[in-house]
Amino acid sequence: MRKYRGLKPHDIAILGMLVTEKNWPSQSKISRELCISQSEVSLGFKALEKVGLIQSSAKKVNKISVKEFIIHVIKYLVPIEKEGISRGFLTGPSSVFFKDKVHSDNMYIWPHEEGDSKGIIINSVIAKMPESIISNRSLYLFLSIVDIFRGLGGVRHLKEAEKELERLIHE
């Protein structure tokens, strides 16, 4: 039996797919959409189950645990790293989901050659942000919420993100 490897940043994106999909997605679908190998997805499922965020056999997300994890733990597991200025897709408080609700002085982006916004590059939970994340609005919202709790948001952003997380988890 393989030793527990701990949570990896891309496991958060896997969790996002499990939270936002109406039906439990297959590991091959997650692998394809997130551009992560099938073996990494399998290990991600095991890690998410080990820490109590999912129950694979019941195909269930532990909603209360996910909310507590995102709000209180994510900033320690995957801290924000700012990496300069570039073009990409808006995230966190700069994303389309939050920019009209609470003002943010800075624009934060996931770098991508097809992005139409200029801003401060932040490290994403996925090494290469695939286009499928941007076209999947629920997953995009989930990862923007995660970025706010990772350290991009002020008090008002955190309150709005918590409301959106609650709504997203219980849809």
Q: What is the pLDDT of residues 37-87, one digit of tens each?
A: 999 999 999 999 999 999 999 999 999 999 999 999 999 999 999 999 999
User: For residue 120, is pLDDT > 80?
Assistant: yes
**Of the candidates 37, 42, 77, 66, which has an alpha carbon nearest to the alpha carbon of residue 171?**
66
pLDDT at 2: 65
pTM of the model: 0.93
Q: What is the mean pLDDT of the chain?
A: 91
Q: Which of 122, 167, 113 is nearest to 142 (CA)?
A: 167
Domains within the chain, CATH numbers bracketed: 9-76 (1.10.10), 80-169 (no CATH)
pLDDT of 93 over the 80 cut: yes
pLDDT at position 122 over 60: yes
Q: What is the pLDDT of residues 124-153, one digit of tens each?
A: 888 777 677 778 999 999 999 999 999 998
The vertex-135 CA angle with 133 and 137, nearest 5°, equals 80
